[in-house]
Structure 1
Amino acid sequence: MSSKQSGSSEVQVDLTAPDLSPYRQGNTGVDYYHRFDSGQAGPTVMVNALTHGNEICGAIALDRLFKSGFRPARGSLLLGFANIAAYENFDPMNPGQSRYVDEDFNRLWSADVLDGPRQSLELTRARKIRPLIDETDLLLDIHSMSGNSPAMMLAGPLNKGVDFAKAVGYPGTTIIDSGHAAGVRLRDYRDFGDPSSKRNALLVECGQHWHRQTGDMAWTVLLAFLHATKLADSAFLDAQGFSAPPSDQKVVRVTDVVTVSSDSFTFSKPFQGMERIEKAGTVIGRDGSADVTTPYDDCALVMPSHAARKGQTAVRLGRVMP
């Protein structure tokens, strides 16, 4: 365990970034992407890690799956490491600086951006990966968070996403959200965001980027995803000590997004995430000279960011669904 300094805030780095060089030569035509076919009928399933280069829990989980010798019991499994260039810049002495190289890889997934004239390292990589995404029926995109919020599944705005999240079962909290105004996430790309399509995708936030339990959660969610898609048989899951998810899952619908509008935003308390504020009108922060208050009773705070700057999301506000 080591405590490192990143800018002005001290962070804890308990996870070790694995060496991914053995996975460079894939069999898909795209570096760091591998396909395993079962020879049996079934869906094409993808598990994607390193959409952000500093979110290393997904790389740890996939490395562990590769080393286990896992092969799908049905269908086809794609495993890949997305923003490998950013990951190669990861430095545990300054772990927050390798999120991306040129631009956020997870804001590029619309046709107008992918087919447009703009160029960047991340766009070049996304365009190479895109044909694999186009053939994927079910996707899990593994992420982590800057804050100490409990792990959560971001299911998107559609009922099919919520149903899929419930079938996976881990983590115990599912968020219904509509994505980012700054650009389309991989989870919402094309058919994944079409309510009439059977293709489906989930984005999991496994916990704080570099806490040990975040790596454990990434592995648990990966096993749960393979269980829900029926690619993993019971013998493999039993050997990994996998247990069925709890039945008391919580679903939170995001209703409001607090965007920083000034050069000075502060929370009233050191919120970490999923706090439930009892009364409407409770002050939770100040944006410049303006109070930020809860719009209704029993308001849940989703993924508060204490480092948000002007134009960025400070926190999402949500209702816990019955």
Structure 2
Amino acid sequence: MTQPTHIRVHQFAGLQPGPRFLVTGAVHGNEVHGTKAMAEIIRQLDAGELTLLCGTLTFVPIVNPLAHQLNRREGDRNLNRNLRPPAVVHDFEDRIARVLCPLLAQHDGLLDLHSFQGNGPAFAMIGPRNNHGDLEPFSQEATESALAARLGVSRIVEGWLSTYALGLERRQQRAHDGSRRATLISDPHYGVGTTEYMRSTGGWAITLECGQHLDPNGPEVARLAILRSLVFLGMLHESAVEPHRPAQPPELLQLYDVIDREDMGDTFERDWSSFDAIENGQRIGTRASGQAVLAPSEGRIVFPSTKSQPGTEWFYLARPSDRKLG
């Protein structure tokens, strides 16, 4: 199979100045709700059914064409981890990073469209609160919060990078075999993906998980989110899309821990879905050794993965957040 040699980028440059907005899909190759949504919006813009009022709108419908060609999450490795311009190119995802990282830096904001393995409704992930810390300094909390509340989801999650840093600290304490894969997954930069890199350049970024991979409603969730983002940014007239009018405010959750799979013999106690409730002390799974994996507190399980490999994230834990969206 011939490896792809390019990434397709669609750009609409408004004749009036405005925001520089980037939308990405298929960062993981088998997550295509955003890919389909962008195709429809590109068609509408070309047909004159939608009018770009200002700014620059950039679409990358398939960020990882190798993974997409193989219909799987990764090509050679997970593009949405350890994302940075490589000093030395080791794999296909490094080649993408050489193009993607400068593209991210050229924009003010990012909407990154994904989907997930288990069942459950769409949700958004946002960055940290404003801070001057070393891990992820940030000053655009207000923009991310306000936009996330308008995307049409009933749940918003924060705390990704700080949680990942905790997991990496534990991961680095375990011995590894010296392989490139083992080196990558224990690298302090491993938690950085598209949104984290975007924030590191001064921009804002939101991940929208549009539903289960094969959810027939996923492309429409993605399409409405793109249009609502454009209206929020003043790049489309407000009549272009029905605004999101929730019956109640979205639920806000904060990730606080990530648990790695240690062995392929590690098994879940039941068929978990993201955001299933867990009780303090409840058995979540069992290690290959027979050791029980118990919930440390009441909360939710997030991104449980039966397909995770040893040394990588098996599931996350979340609890209610006290964040205010404004």
TM-score normalised according to structure 1 size: 0.78
Question: Which segment drifts farther, 160-169 or 56-65?
Answer: 160-169
Matched, 1:188 2:196: yes
Q: How does 1:3-152 map to 2 (within 5 A)?
A: 31-69=7-45, 70-81=50-61, 82-90=63-71, 98-110=72-84, 114-152=85-123
Distance of aligned partners of 1:233 and 1:165 in 2 relative to their CA distance in 1, 3 Å threshold: closer
| Structure 2 residue 157 is matched with structure 1 residue 172 | no
How many angstroms apart in 1 are the aligned matches of 2:89 and 2:149? 38
Q: CA deviation at 1:212?
A: 0.4
Distance 2:121 2:200 in 1: 25
Quick check: 1:213 aligned with 2:213?
A: no
Question: What is the aligned residue count?
Answer: 274
CA change 1:34–1:142 in 2 (3 A) is: same
Distance in 2 between residues matched to 1:89 and 1:304, nearest whole Å:
23
Identity in percent: 24
Distance between the aligned counterparts of 2:292 and 2:53, measured in 1? 54
| 1:158/1:193 contact within 8 Å kept | no
What is the identity, as a one-letter code, of the residue corresponding to 1:271? W
2:228 is equivalent to residue 254 of structure 1: no
Could you report, residue by residue, the CA deviation over 1:30-65 in whole angstroms, capped at 9, with x for unpaired residues? 741122122222210001111111111111010010
User: Structure 1 stretch 202-211 or stretch 256-265: which is displaced more?
Assistant: 256-265
What letter corresponds to residue 58 of structure 2 in structure 1? L
Misfit runs of 4+, over 4 Å: none
Contact 1:166 1:249 (C-alpha < 8 Å) held by counterparts: no
Shift of the alpha carbon at 1:314? 1.6
The equivalent of 2:177 in structure 1 is none
Unaligned 5+ segments in structure 1 are 1-23, 25-29, 91-97
Q: For residue 164 of structure 1, report the CA deviation from its aligned partner.
A: 4.5
C-alpha root-mean-square deviation of aligned residues, in Å? 2.2
For residue 212 of structure 1, give the secondary structure of its aligned residue in structure 2: coil
Tell me the TM-score normalized by structure 2.
0.77
- Which runs of no fewer than 5 residues in structure 2 stay unpaired? 131-139, 169-184
* C-alpha spacing 1:129/1:312, structure 2 compared with 1 (3 Å): closer
User: Over residues 296-318 of structure 1, what are the superposed CA-to-partner deviations in whole Å (9 max), with x where a residue is unaligned?
Assistant: 23x11112112223212121111
CA displacement, residues 16-38 of structure 1 (integer Å, 9 cap, x when unaligned): xxxxxxxx9xxxxx741122122
- Contact 2:86/2:97 (<8 A) preserved: no
Which protein, 1 or 2, shows the higher relative CO under an 8 Å CA cutoff with sep ≥ 6?
2
Which residue of the partner structure matches residue 3 of structure 1? none
Residue 253 of structure 1: how far off its partner (Å): 0.4
Give 3-state SS (helix, strand or coil) of 2:80's partner. helix
Q: Distance in 2 between matches of 1:264 and 1:51?
A: 29
> Deviation string for 1:242-292 (max 9, x for gaps)?
232414111100111111123322222211111122x31111211222211
Q: 1:37 to 1:53 in 2, by over 3 A?
A: same
Corresponding letter in the other structure for 2:23: V
Instruction: Give me the whole-angstrom Cα distance separating, in 2, the residues matched to 1:188 and 1:262.
Output: 29
